[in-house]
Amino acid sequence: LAKTTQPISMDSYEGQEVNITCSHNNIATNDYITWYQQFPSQGPRFIIQGYKTKVTNEVASLFIPADRKSSTLSLPRVSLSDTAVYYCLVYSSASKIIFGSGTRLSIRP
């Protein structure tokens, strides 16, 4: 079973900042928090990964509180092309990469 809980769906508009929160109460010490994006009929694509505090790359930011029991993926100024399913996963090199149901993000003009 996936070890994370995230909203089933979210809607937003172009140009807005979107924050998707993920709950992972049973995260293990060695687990990293990893987010993937998937478009229809394509394989998931890695977005960002973090262990604690904040991580930022050219695509997104990942905020992780001190207790690591949740995380928030932040997408700045979304566009229509950001419409996709976003998966939050927690795993380490010693555990399986298990996907949950993800969050279906719809961006409107």
Partner 1 sequence: ETGVTQTPRHLVMGMTNKKSLKCEQHLGHNAMYWYKQSAKKPLELMFVYNFKEQTENNSVPSRFSPECPNSSHLFLHLHTLQPEDSALYLCASSQVTNTEAFFGQGTRLTVV
The residues binding partner 1 (CB under 8 A) are: 2, 32, 34, 41-46, 49, 91-93, 96-102
Residue closer to partner 1, measured from CB, 13 or 51? 51
Amino acid identity at 43: G
Minimum distance from residue 28 beta carbon to partner 1 (Å): 12
- Residue 24 · residue 86 · CB < 8 Å: no
**CA-to-CA distance for 11 and 28, rounded, in angstroms?**
31
- Rank residues 27 and 91 by Cβ distance to partner 1 and give the closer one: 91
CB 64, min distance to partner 1, A: 15
Task: Tell me whether residue 16 or residue 30 sits nearer to partner 1 (CB atom).
Answer: 30
Q: How far is the CB of 51 from partner 1 (least distance, A)?
A: 10
